[in-house]
Amino acid sequence: MNQEKPIKKNERPGWKWSYLVYFLTQTFLVGLVYYLFAANQFFVPAAIYWLVAAMVTLAIILMALGMLKKNISYIWWEALLLLFAFCGIWILCLAVLPLWAAIMTAALLTILPYLWPLTFWHDFSFTMGVMGIGLFIAIQFPFSVLLVASLGIVIYEYLRQNQVQLATLFSEAFSVGLPPGILLPVSPRGWFRIIERTWQAGQGIVIGLLPIIVMAAISLRIMRHGLLWLLLFGFLECLVIVVWGQDKQNRLRSWFFLAIAVGFYALTAMLSV
């Protein structure tokens, strides 16, 4: 069995390059989803509202339970985001595909990470879920609500980066084989390795679903102003990722990428007035 090559002391891990690949993929999917949704005349099936109503009900129940058991509320909220991501797969498919195709595609994407536990398929399925939640948010939330919520999430992600609870979260998630977010490998080969191999110390990192969901919603709202705006946004984010992608401790600046997205989102709204 081949052993993983350790990262040399003077060699920086390639987290930002993996994130760059992910961001470019998500940006491409934003354009595709927007095109398919527009071709469907921006029609939202009633089934999506029922699904979202069930999600909100579950969130309220877990919020109440979390208030009673504060020591595990952090873990529960992360688990809730995972559930939302799986629901997002169904939201996305129902919004852009015919009913029969939506059911078949959503079912396949939901079980795909278990049938074929490669890092690529895990990230692809979760990206579809993120896009679905982001699409619903982009449709339902007005500009001001999305902007304020996004600013709050930027602050949350900045403070969250150094929280000790993350170690507990990742440990418990690893025990069940399901990373609580998008799994970024240190090298391109990691995309085509099983999740357990990529999710080893120095071989992969997890970025939370919450900033990715907001990034998807913002990208879809930017797309409303035209493809050129989305391309400008993509170019700016790529530049930021390459130049400021990692800090001195080689940690990924995921909160900073979202901050840039929020700023660009506000700019497009002001210039389009």
Tell me the pLDDT tens digit for each residue of 203-228. Answer: 888 888 889 999 999 999 999 888 99
Q: What is the mean pLDDT of residues 97-118?
A: 90
Q: Does residue 190 contact residue 198 with C-beta atoms inside 8 Å?
A: yes
CA–CA gap between residue 138 and residue 135 (Å, rounded): 5
Q: Please state the three-class secondary structure of 18-81 as a single string.
A: HHHHHHHHHHHHHHHHHHHHHHCCCCCCHHHHHHHHHHHHHHHHHHHHHHHCHHHHHHHHHHHH
With beta carbons less than 8 A apart as the criterion, state whether 29 and 131 touch.
Answer: yes
Measured distance CA(118)–CA(167) in Å, rounded: 23
Least confident stretch, 56-65, 136-145, 240-249? 56-65
Provide, rounded to the nearest whole percent, the portion of the chain with pLDDT above 90: 38
Look up tokens 């069940």; give the residue: 176
Domain positions in the chain: 15-268
Mean pLDDT of all residues in 164-185 = 68
Q: What spatial distance separates the first Cα and last Cα of the chain, rounded to whole Å?
A: 60
167 pLDDT above the threshold of 50: yes
pLDDT of residue 33: 93
Angle at 43 between CA 37 and CA 46, to 5 degrees: 125
pTM: 0.87
Question: Residue 138: pLDDT band by 50, 70, 90 thresholds?
Answer: very high
